A and B are shown apart, each in its own frame.
Chain A
Amino acid sequence: MNALRAVRRNTELGLIVLGTLVTVGAYLLASLAEDATIPANIGPFLVIVLGLQLVAHLAIRRLAPDADGTLVPIAGLLNGLGYVFIVRIDEAKNEPQGLAGLQSGWIAVGIVAFIATLLVVRRVRDLERYRWTIGMGGIVLLLLPLVPGVGKTINGAKIWVGLGPISFQPGEFAKILLALFFASYLVEKRELLGVSSHRLGPIPLPDLKHLGPVLLAWGVSLLVMVSERDLGSSLLFFALFVALLWVATERATYLVVGLALFAGGALFAHSQFTHVQERVDIWLDPWQDPKDDGFQIVESAFAFSAGGVTGTGINLGSPTRIPYAETDFIFAAIGEELGLVGATGVLVAYLLMIGAGLRIALRTEVPFERLLATGLTVLIGVQSFIIMAGVIRVLPLTGVTLPFVSYGGSSLIANYILLALLLRISDDTVTREEERVR
């Protein structure tokens, strides 16, 4: 078994080095395209990029040595690529905001949070005990931006909280807490939920009282998000909830009912809220108003078509034409400068993460851990899908970040914590397997 552990960790190390080379290469190309010089800080840059990942790697060796070895390198690659693009976009602006320094700071904090989570959570099962606290905590975090004085409205969305000079999005952390809550509760009640004591026409339904707390939690979160105008997160939570319900109870009914509820909710939202109508209209036909409302989507399409198959080359495109290029639309910047090839690469990276996450879920035999791993994977997978789909017009645009790539501290830190939890589950599973064998 130790041989397998060595293989895992060494593969991880190798992948980290490869990923770093890609990131540094991208940085180099960006600088060459700017003024044909090799950046003076390329050495320190290489050291920092490699160093941060090595610190995480060493922590894994110490704290979760049997964990899956692909998640951290992929996250590192996405992080690095995102960083190069954030720097490139920021410096091309008329008034750079110093995002380079900020993002690298956030990455460092993210790695610290990653290691802290590995340290604090020794056995994931222990978290089950705090189920209600965690659930309440999640709701509170979601409600925080609505509290006057503490909450801030930025770009029409009340999802921010200001603590002195720092703003963060508690919603990003709430997602993980609520995933923990859902997983833990559903595991306990899943048999009860699987039994159908009533029927609504042809559809078998369980006793609603069993579903109660979860429905309540879910309903509250949806309401909160709608009032905060965070439609993307609403969609994400809904997907999380339905997926976990379905996987936990193994009943396709919940999937069908869930989709029906979604359709109903979507239609209701569309009829009631003008900003939903606008989003859908622009999604269906951005060309009706290409200079104003449709500008982002239209420019994003132009960015991809300008990039073609191989892209214009880093720092040789014009991604700053798109508003919010460093957050919501960073995928369009990647599409323009790295082309179909680069964008597909990012797509594949997320698919690999999803694959690793689901593999971890399948491998563990503890139902709670199974459900939790599934839930966490759904969070990353569906979130990345939603924003990429919005950028290329497969779905209406919503304001969620592209995990690990977009600029944003809260998202980065939350996703690293998420990764740590997945790795902890993965490591635990192997440790238990070994104990059984002995």
Chain B
Amino acid sequence: MTRQIRLLGIGLMVCFLVLFVQLNRLTVFQAAELNDNPNNTREILRDFTRPRGTVTTADGVVIAQSVPSDDRFELQRVYPEGPLCAAITGYYSFALGSAGVERTYNDELAGRTIDLSLQDIGDLFVDKETVGDLSLTVRADLQRIASDGLAGREGSVVALDPRTGEILAMVSHPTYDPNLLADHNTDAATNAATLLDASPEKPRLSRAYQDRFFPGSTFKVVTATAGVTSGGVSVSEPSYPSSNGYTAPGTTRPLRNFGGGTCGGTLFDILRVSCNTAFAQMGVETGPEAMIETAEAFGFNKDVPIDLTNPARSNFPTDFERNLPALAQSAIGQNEVSATPLQMALVAAAVANDGRVMVPHVLKDVRDVDGNIVDEYDPEEWTTAMDPGTSALLRDAMVGVVERGTATRLAVPGFVVGGKTGTAQLGTEVPRSHAWIIGFGGPPGEVPSIAVAVIIEGQPGASEQTGGRVAAPIARSMISAFLGGP
């Protein structure tokens, strides 16, 4: 019997060894694959039943929070302001994943960052609630003004602080109600998403920073910067000939001004009336390399480092070889130039802030449950568009547009306001265009503290006045509300 008993012992040991091998397979070798298995809803379910931080605007309005709910998730994510701040909050949905601030700051909201979870040694042993509350730079009052200004029309408003890159407001229409997507009933949520995506206007897209449009005449600020930076343009030189058409080398078809008008003059003059022929000539004479370089210095062709999901890249064409007519059109913001409203706001901000484009962001700071700040967003420079001297020149030019040019509706008494209107022709059968305005404003003698970009899409007509008429009032109300003016 002895031998058999010993063999039995060895046999059992081998059996247990097999168990040990399989344990290793499950916990080590296949662990990653198992954890990522689509049937594995452990992590998601855990995240959904855990407390999550609150998102508050700069003026103390709660725009995302978790409230108790009677189902298996125990907590429901709600968005009290609904569509107003949808572009910023995004959504946190069991069925659809996450977007916006809910996504980019997920670790902070869940309390998983080191700053939040390990504040003292005792935290190593304990699983206490460590969620982070987000304080944003966005202001709910400005959001409302922007939203009211759009009045249901398709378009976007972006307002930011040129000195820090803090986004003060970002609204686009049409938009959606994130509460529908955060519904715990996965069928309801998925249906809501399908409905939204079926609409040709794509409400889930935040056009303010995720969609691109012809910038039209607002791009002339960039062209002017390129001209001045390259040394070819100054306050008094050159004086462009009064003309109603500019024919670029390599083509016989002239580029016209709006309504067939005639214009010309020095830098300030042509910016004030938004003279197409002069700027087209400026673009061609400045040359492709300088134009591309300046556009990219403003942020075109680059990924925007904003702390939201899926930003779109603004585009300035880089191939003008033997295609100077295209350059002429690009110089006035047509052809293949496309920009997000955010990018155009950054153009205005660069002019306001001595040429420095700061990284745009919505986060101000992260606080723990006791209200202590655990992390702050440190403003950082993203790119340098021009040197301070050039920016001073452009500032004065843009102030001139507001004082006596196409953007008089932007003026706010008692404050220094500069701007540039734009009407981007869409080349449709019945003339339609995007109505644009970009601008900045601030107390006299100080660096302007707000930069704005407004676009109203697809407006009837194609006159230079469209931008100033349609878009400027909205921008003005933003600037005025922010600065506390009349």
CB distance B26 to A358 under 8 Å?
no
CB distance A344 to B4 under 8 Å?
no
Please indicate the chain A residues that have their CB under 8 angstroms from the CB of B40 in the complex: 302, 305
Name B129's closest neighbour in chain A (CB-CB): A36
CB distance A308 to B128 under 8 Å?
no
CB distance A340 to B42 under 8 Å?
no
CB distance B6 to A362 under 8 Å?
yes
Residues B109-149 near A (CB distance < 8 A): 125-128
Q: What string of 1s and 0s marks CB contacts (under 8 Å) between A268-312 and chain B?
A: 000000000000000000010011000000100110111111000
User: B3 to chain A: closest CB distance in Å?
Assistant: 7
Contact partner of A305 among B15, B19, B26, B128, CB < 8 A?
B26
User: A72 to chain B: closest CB distance in Å?
Assistant: 21
Rounded to whole angstroms, the CA-CA distance of A370 and B28 in the bound complex is 40
CB distance A335 to B5 under 8 Å?
no
Rounded to whole angstroms, the CA-CA distance of A306 and B28 in the bound complex is 10
CB distance A309 to B27 under 8 Å?
yes
User: B314 to chain A: closest CB distance in Å?
Assistant: 43
Please indicate the chain B residues that have their CB under 8 angstroms from the CB of A243 in the complex: 8
Q: Say which size band chain B's interface belongs to.
A: 35 or more
Given contacts A358-B9, A385-B12, A394-B19, contact A308 B27 (CB under 8 A): yes
Rounded to whole angstroms, the CA-CA distance of A29 and B27 in the bound complex is 22
B34 within 8 A of A: yes
Please indicate the chain B residues that have their CB under 8 angstroms from the CB of A182 in the complex: none
Interface size on A, residues (CB 8 A): 52
Please indicate the chain B residues that have their CB under 8 angstroms from the CB of A340 in the complex: 23-24, 27-28
Given contacts A298-B39, A305-B26, contact A318 B19 (CB under 8 A): no
Name B126's closest neighbour in chain A (CB-CB): A36
Given contacts A381-B12, A392-B26, contact A32 B5 (CB under 8 A): no
Please indicate the chain A residues that have their CB under 8 angstroms from the CB of B46 in the complex: 318
Contact partner of A367 among B1, B9, B37, CB < 8 A?
B1
Please indicate the chain A residues that have their CB under 8 angstroms from the CB of B13 in the complex: 351, 354
CB distance B126 to A33 under 8 Å?
yes
Name B36's closest neighbour in chain A (CB-CB): A305
B2 within 8 A of A: yes
CB distance B4 to A350 under 8 Å?
no
CB distance B5 to A355 under 8 Å?
no
Please indicate the chain B residues that have their CB under 8 angstroms from the CB of A335 in the complex: 23, 26-27
CB distance A308 to B28 under 8 Å?
yes
CB distance B20 to A354 under 8 Å?
no
Please indicate the chain A residues that have their CB under 8 angstroms from the CB of B35 in the complex: 302, 305-306
Rounded to whole angstroms, the CA-CA distance of A285 and B413 in the bound complex is 76
Rounded to whole angstroms, the CA-CA distance of A247 and B19 in the bound complex is 24
B31 within 8 A of A: yes
A388 within 8 A of B: yes
B372 within 8 A of A: no
Please indicate the chain A residues that have their CB under 8 angstroms from the CB of B31 in the complex: 304-305, 308
Rounded to whole angstroms, the CA-CA distance of A268 and B20 in the bound complex is 31
CB distance A302 to B42 under 8 Å?
yes
CB distance A318 to B16 under 8 Å?
no
Contact partner of B34 among A302, A339, A394, CB < 8 A?
A302
Contact partner of B16 among A316, A350, A361, CB < 8 A?
A350
Please indicate the chain A residues that have their CB under 8 angstroms from the CB of B32 in the complex: 305
CB distance B26 to A250 under 8 Å?
no
User: B111 to chain A: closest CB distance in Å?
Assistant: 14
Please indicate the chain B residues that have their CB under 8 angstroms from the CB of A381 in the complex: 12
CB distance B4 to A318 under 8 Å?
no
B45 within 8 A of A: yes
CB distance A344 to B20 under 8 Å?
yes
CB distance A355 to B9 under 8 Å?
yes
Please indicate the chain B residues that have their CB under 8 angstroms from the CB of A298 in the complex: 39
Contact partner of B3 among A250, A347, A370, CB < 8 A?
A250
Please indicate the chain A residues that have their CB under 8 angstroms from the CB of B39 in the complex: 287, 290-291, 298, 302
User: B342 to chain A: closest CB distance in Å?
Assistant: 40
User: B85 to chain A: closest CB distance in Å?
Assistant: 33
B67 within 8 A of A: no
B30 within 8 A of A: yes
Please indicate the chain B residues that have their CB under 8 angstroms from the CB of A370 in the complex: 1, 5
Given contacts A304-B23, A335-B23, contact A362 B28 (CB under 8 A): no
CB distance A347 to B16 under 8 Å?
yes
Please indicate the chain B residues that have their CB under 8 angstroms from the CB of A290 in the complex: 39
Which B residues are within 8 Å of any A CB, using their own CB? 1-6, 8-9, 12-13, 15-16, 18-20, 22-24, 26-28, 30-35, 37, 39-40, 42-43, 45-46, 125-128
7 nearest CB pairs, A to B: A305-B34, A304-B26, A340-B27, A305-B31, A247-B4, A36-B126, A290-B39
Q: A247-B8, A385-B15 are in contact. List 8 more A-B contacts (CB 8 A).
A: A250-B3, A307-B27, A308-B28, A308-B31, A335-B23, A362-B6, A378-B8, A381-B12
Sample (15) of A-B pairs whose CB atoms are under 8 Å apart: A32-B125, A32-B126, A33-B126, A302-B40, A304-B34, A305-B31, A306-B35, A308-B31, A321-B42, A344-B20, A347-B19, A370-B5, A378-B8, A389-B15, A392-B19
